[in-house]
Each structure stands twice: as C-alpha cells, then as structure tokens.
Chain A
Amino acid sequence: MSVQSHDLHLLTGVYAVDALTGDELDEFEKHLEQCPTCAEEVRGLREAAARLGLATAIAPPPSMREQVLDAASRVRQLPPSGARLITANGARPRRRLIRRLPRPIAVTAMAAAIVALAVLQVGTRHQLQQAQTKNQTIASVLSASDASIELSSSTVGGTVTAVVSKHDREAVITAAGMPTPDDAQVYQLWVISAAGAPRSLGLLPGSTSGATSPVLADDVQPGDQLAVTIEPAGGTKVPTTNPIVEIHTRP
C-alpha cells in the first residue's frame, strides 16, 4: 500500500491516539524517521492526548501499590543507553517486555489488605464512618458540575488550591510545596466573609512534596475569601498575622 507523503503527514493525529494499525502504522513510522516536522507534530499532539488520559484518573485497588513496588524490587532496570525502547520518533517497541505478575501475589496481597481493614473496622468503626463521610463529601465537591478551581501562590513558597462548589457552598482546600513550619508554628486556614469575623477552618499541614491532606470547608458563600495565616502552635481564634495566601471565591 503506497500513500502519498502529504497523506502520510495527516496521520499524525490518529498516530498520536494509537488509532493507526497494520501496514499503515509501519509505513507511517518509517516516514517519521525522515520527517522531523511530523515527529515534532506528533510530540505536541501526544501531549494533548496525554491530558485526556490524565483527566480520567481512577483510584486503582489499594493492593496494587504494594504489588507494583514489590515487583519493582525484582525487575532489573535498563541501562541508560542501548537499544531505544521508544525511539527518537516515538516508534513503538515490538516486543512484550514485561511478563504479567503471577496471580498468587495479587491474591495474597488482597487478602492481607482485607484482614487489615477488618481489624481496623472493629476498633474504630465510628471513626471510619466519619472518615468515609468526609471523603464522600470531598469527592462530591470535586466532581460537582459547578466546581471551580482557584489557585494561589503563597508568600512563603508553594501553592494553595481550592475547589469550590457554589451550589453546595463547600470547598476543598489543599496545599502543595509549602515549607513545613517550625514546631512552634502552624498554618491556619480561614474563611472570611464580607460581613462577620473570620472563621477558622482548622490547620493546614505543610508539605514540600505532593499535596497535603485536603481540608473540607462548609458554608462557604460565593465571594467569600479563603486565607492562610501563620499562627502559634495549636492555632488561634482570630488571625494574628497577615495572610500568606488569599483566595477570593467567585461571587
């Protein structure tokens, strides 16, 4: 099958979403090696396609984490050079490189997780229920159709993100990359409305890696301001310092 080079160029899109198969795929990959423009376009379109993937995250079964990390300790890594897995133009490898994990590992890990969970439930069923309710509320805010995202950099570094549902009057706040305060200080989160005193939403843990545990704020009115201040350990009833972050929710 022979396709004109102009037609081949139009295949960058279907190639970027892995919708190209058979002879056409082979032909296009050969073409890519000689067409830097195509390779460059594929790169950009792949980035766009990857966002479609990143947006579909689903929490995997908790047992998967241990299995993967454990398996990694038994899988030899490739050296930095040598035959390229993904070649310069992004051509795919032909061989199946990793064998599937043996089933028994999965089953054992799953059983261990269930036992651990059962033990936990006996001791703290009430706490667990509370945690689940909170998590469900957080999940519902994050997936609310009217959820808007406000993001603001803090004056001490890092950022604070708020996902606000106007309809539910709720917000979920997390921080990322903020330095851990010294032992005598804490980050305290506030909601400040046009009328009325600032209301404390509790403490926000600092974290230099990843995001902090999310804080759920209820009764957030449109136009309210969210703020973080540095306060003495234990927190205070009213803010005593200037905010390091202020987020204005949409009116």
Chain B
Amino acid sequence: MNTPSVGQQPHGRGHSEGHGQDLAWLLAQVACGDHAAFEAVYDQLAGPVYGVARKVLRDPAQSEEVAQEVLLEVWRSASRFDPARGSAAAWVMTIAHRRAVDRVRAENAATAREQKAAPDIGTSEDVFELVDMALDRQRVRRCMGRLSSLQAEAIKLAYYGGYSYPEVAGLLGLPLGTVKTRIRDGLIRMRDCMEVPQ
C-alpha cells in the first residue's frame, strides 16, 4: 500500500514473521498519537482484521462494523501493547477474533451465518497486501497440512467458524475432552511448524 512515510522505520519488514518488527515499532508511535503511523498500521492490518470478521460473521455490514471497532481499539489502546507478551500482529488479531466471536455469540448466530456471501477478493488497490497474504496463506496451508484431519477440522470450526468448543464437539460428534486436546495439540503443531517466536 502507499503507506505515508512515517519517520525512519527500522529497515525492511521482517518478512518471515510476516508483520513483525515494523508493526511493533509503528504501534509505539501510534501510542504517542502519531496518525501517520496509524495509517500505516491500518494499511497492514485492515485486510486481516476485516478478513477474520468476514470469516466468522459472514455478513459484510456487520464485519465492517467489527473491523472498524477493532482498528479504533488499536488506536485507542496502542499504549497497552507490550512487545514482551507477544507480537504486534497477534495482539491485533486476538482483539479482532474476540470481537468477531463476541458479536456472533451476542446476536442470533444462526441468522447471521445463513447469509453466506461469496468472499470477495477485494478490488484493485489491495493487491499490494495480497502479496503478504500469499506468504502467510501458503505457510498456513503448508502447516495445516501437517495436522491430523481431526485437529485441522476442530481448529477451523473454532477459529474460522467462531464456535465454542462444546459446539465443535457437537458438530463433530466427539467427546468434549477429545476436542479440547485436539485443538491444543493442533495449535502446538502449528506453532512449531510456523516457527512462531517462543
């Protein structure tokens, strides 16, 4: 994206961590009220934030509302981000996923989810982001491929579907304990496969 220049960024973007260093640095600037830095954060994360909301909520209008809330929350509480407790991308995505899940559980999930719309790949200018997305997507696909089908299925239902784990158990016809351990084991395998910083 055409990110406005925001002072001197530490060089490059650690591609292998996807959205690592720069984002943490940008968030520190955002915490000081830097609007240009916030624009840069927006350009990097609006796509994933909106994407998660769409995945969980389906409905475009609701997803946009949630995405706006999340991004404003990032602006508002940037000072509370602590790099010692995880990456900036994970911090933002955690807020995004929670909001989406909270929304889907607060409202009548059934009606919202029935309005399935084909995910649009978006228009023109966002091809820039697509490159980064492709990096992430390919790695995720590769790592998902190493999970057992049960682990992958349970994780997808919980994360992308926004279902609680008893709901996942119901959908898959499995005991609660099994779902608990499958999701945990699967995520551990994902974590190790994606070389998430420990």
Contact = CB atoms under 8 A, between A and B. Distances in A.
Nearest to A18: B101
Chain A: interface residue count, which band?
A: 35 or more
A214 interface: yes
A19 B68 contact: no
- Secondary structure call for the B interface: helix
A122 interface: no
Contacts, number: 299
A115 interface: no
Interface in A67-112: 67-69, 71-73, 75-80, 84-86, 88, 90, 92, 97-98, 100-101, 106
B105 A209 contact: no
A163 B75 contact: no
Contacts of B197: 47
A47 B186 CA distance: 13
B184 interface: yes
B68 A92 contact: no
Interface stretch (A6-14, A220-228, A236-244): A6-14
8 contacts: A14-B165, A19-B168, A21-B105, A44-B188, A47-B86, A58-B54, A138-B127, A211-B132
Interface of B: 1-3, 5-6, 9, 11-13, 15, 18-19, 22, 31, 33, 35, 38-40, 42-44, 46-52, 54-55, 60, 64-65, 67-69, 71-73, 75-80, 85-87, 89-91, 93-98, 101, 105, 119-141, 143, 155, 158-160, 162-166, 168, 177, 179-181, 183-188, 190-191, 194, 196-198
